[in-house]
Structure 1
């Protein structure tokens, strides 16, 4: 076995020996050479290579942490960002953006029936409980810093679906699906008041349910987000400005504003506070409309259940749980599983 490893390492050495004084063995080649003297004879070449890959990956992660050192102590959000940096350009890794989850059952004290009055059978046969899931990922554009050290430009995509899986009389339809592509730029500020870490995010989002009239809902917004991290806590405030559309002359025309008063219900900004101790995560979101006082409150928490899966619980009350419900007030409770935490 050691002879095979020596043969592979020797071949690599020959390839780089053309100018021996100017070149050195790559990290992988050096690792193979080192393993030659420590690996027992029963170890396969594949196992040796796997050991080297893990070793180099761990070394790369330590390097990222060292380069990304900040004045404040690294908190839960910084640790997530550093972990993502290790694999974010790996073609076989899809980096989560928001939480990815499945709620097999989510209840409502006031399901929105009126908006479906034009669809035969929907209004009277919708159930007050359904399933909900979310899929969310992001892709970075830049490896090197753009404007400030360790800044990043991303494309993100999030899909949410509400599935009337328990409605036997209307063939279990997907009641609503919301799509949100976005571009956003994130950068640390280098400001560390009271030992905190702070950052800024600027983004543009398009939100749509992809439906035809009269159920079509959509809007575009620009936002800025200020984030503060301290240990296990993260706080953020995210105001936004809606990009206005032309008014409709006919409610059934395809062009024009589907929901001109949406910010009067879903709000003008969002305040978030989050806590994570590694096993349990709690996130509280508050949205508020300055002119009308409407908005919503949402509390999510997760807990370990073993393996890849995380227990996930959600309580929502107010307006805008989905685009079709933007002006409909309700209280919802859901229980299910998640694949990742936010922190």
Structure 2
């Protein structure tokens, strides 16, 4: 009998609570719709009593503030990544980004531009020490351009905290793909092995005016040649130093190339620096899914020489930012290839960036 009374009492309480909850929910809704704060608090006081009403009113206000704050904060797309994050991951500048040694990764852009047209094709290359090559009238202004560039980390924590030693190899070819008369030969291929020493710069040491930040220092030694016999042979050796800064989605790189002198007999191109320049400044922009890079090369004493190069890319599939990308390249000036170091031309190529890892 006592158990039955308890069940009846519990059922009654649940029934009363259900009805009260329904009425209370309607009253609370009415209170929430009241715009005047004092009237709204009085409304809650009638339902819950003073202390509970104040608690609920404060909680409701907190919820409204959070909702308003959330509405003001824009949703950040995965593609809107600061260039500092990209640079730190690319060069492994922080302990969190460090990866294994002796693993090949991409270095300079790897691309294939099947349609590459130039304003003027170099049919008879020449240099002061190698003379002029025989004229090739079959060379066409429409050709293809291909570049493959890889790197691998050799040593970590070398001499300075976080500093790494890298090896890289790059190969860039101009391919007369549309030249049926000469069986589509490769007009020129440049090969460049190099060693790079990358030193990360701590935030406390890298602050610059205008919220710019120095991210790293770079030192290296490189050899570049086209592997051809005289009179088409071109080559040089260099050491270089530079640094990289960034701000938001913008980045700037400066590098100075110091040529290593050679004897007159060994020098294929003694006036190389006069044409291509010793300074290299690149500006990078990551506006969402796209990437843009503008590179200026000059020695500041021959401003009419040097070169400009613009590279634009956009993913073929926007959900795969590291996948295949459309690639547009525009060049103007001297030295698009080592063979063309003293030959001025304007060119444009379109194709795809092959891979990035």
Q: TM-score, normalised by structure 2?
A: 0.68
Shift of 1:197: 3.8
| Residue equivalent to 1:207 | 224
Give the aligned length.
Answer: 260
Gaps of 5+ in 1: 1-71, 249-255
* Post-superposition offset of 1:230: 1.8
Show the counterpart of 2:308: 297
CA–CA separation in structure 2 for the residues paired with 1:239 and 1:269: 5
1:43-122 residue pairs with structure 2 within 5 A?
74-82=84-92, 88-89=99-100, 94-115=104-125, 118-119=133-134
* SS of aligned partner of 1:325: coil
Q: 1:162 to 1:195 in 2, by over 3 A?
A: closer
Query: Closer, same or farther in 2 for the Cα pair 1:75/1:233, shift >3 Å?
Result: farther
Q: Tell me which residue corresponds to 1:129.
A: 142
Return closer, same or farther for 1:159/1:73 CA change in 2, 3 Å cut-off: closer
Q: CA deviation at 1:290?
A: 2.9
- SS of 2:159's equivalent in the other structure is coil
Tell me if structure 1 keeps the 8 A contact 2:101–2:155. no
Rg larger for: 2
What is the alpha-carbon root mean square deviation over aligned residues?
Answer: 2.4
Matched, 1:176 2:193: no
Distance in 2 (alpha carbons) for counterparts of 1:137 and 1:115: 29
Give me the whole-angstrom Cα distance separating, in 1, the residues matched to 2:160 and 2:299.
33
Cα distance in 2 for partners of 1:240, 1:156 equals: 17
How far the C-alpha of 1:268 sits from its partner, in A, is: 1.3
Matched, 1:319 2:303: no
For normalisation by structure 1, the TM-score amounts to 0.71
Cα 1:275–1:341 shift into 2, 3 Å = farther
Q: 1:74 to 1:288 in 2, by over 3 A?
A: closer
Which residue of structure 1 lines up, in the alignment, with residue 237 of structure 2? 220
CA distance in 2, matches of 1:223, 1:232: 26
Determine the structure 2 residue equivalent to 1:258: 268
- Write the distance in 1 (CA, Å) between the matches of 2:194 and 2:98: 21
Report if the CA contact (8 A) 1:76-1:232 is conserved: no
SS of the residue corresponding to residue 231 of structure 2 reads coil
Contact 1:130 1:166 in 2 (8 A): yes
The answer for the alignment partner of 2:206 in structure 1 is 192
Cα gap change, 1:179 to 1:88, in 2 (>3 Å):
farther
Secondary structure of 2:220's partner?
Answer: strand
The 1-side partners of 2:178 and 2:214 are apart by 46
Cα distance in 1 for residues equivalent to 2:326 and 2:100: 29
> Hey, what's the Cα distance between the residues in 2 that align with 1:118 and 1:295?
23
Residue 178 of structure 2 is aligned to residue 166 of structure 1? yes
Whole-Å Cα distance in 2 between the matches of residues 340 and 222 of structure 1? 28
Residue in 1 aligned with 2:46? none
Indicate how the Cα distance of structure 1 residues 283 and 340 shifts in structure 2: closer, same or farther if over 3 A, else same: farther
Does the 8 Å contact 1:197/1:230 carry over to 2?
A: no
Partner deviation per Cα, 1:59-116 (whole Å, 9 max, x = no partner): xxxxxxxxxxxxx99433124334998685377x520111111111110001111228
Measure the CA separation in 1 of the matches of 2:143 and 2:279: 28
CA contact (8 A) 1:297 1:316 kept: yes
Q: Hey, what's the Cα distance between the residues in 2 that align with 1:168 and 1:126? A: 10
For residue 304 of structure 1, report the CA deviation from its aligned partner: 1.1
Structure 2 counterpart SS, 1:170: coil
Per the alignment, do residues 146 and 118 of structure 1 end up closer, same or farther by CA in structure 2, a change over 3 Å counting?
Answer: closer
Distance 2:327 2:143 in 1: 16
Shift in Å, 1:339? 2.9
Tell me: CA distance 1:129–1:233, structure 2 relative to 1, closer, same or farther (3 Å): same
Equivalent position SS for 2:137: helix
Asked whether the 8 Å contact 2:253–2:281 carries over to 1, the reply is yes
Q: Cα–Cα, structure 1 residues 157 and 88, in superposed 2: closer, same or farther, change >3 Å?
A: farther
Is the Cα–Cα contact under 8 Å of residues 88 and 139 in structure 1 kept in the other structure? no
CA–CA distance in structure 1, aligned partners of residues 144 and 347 of structure 2: 12
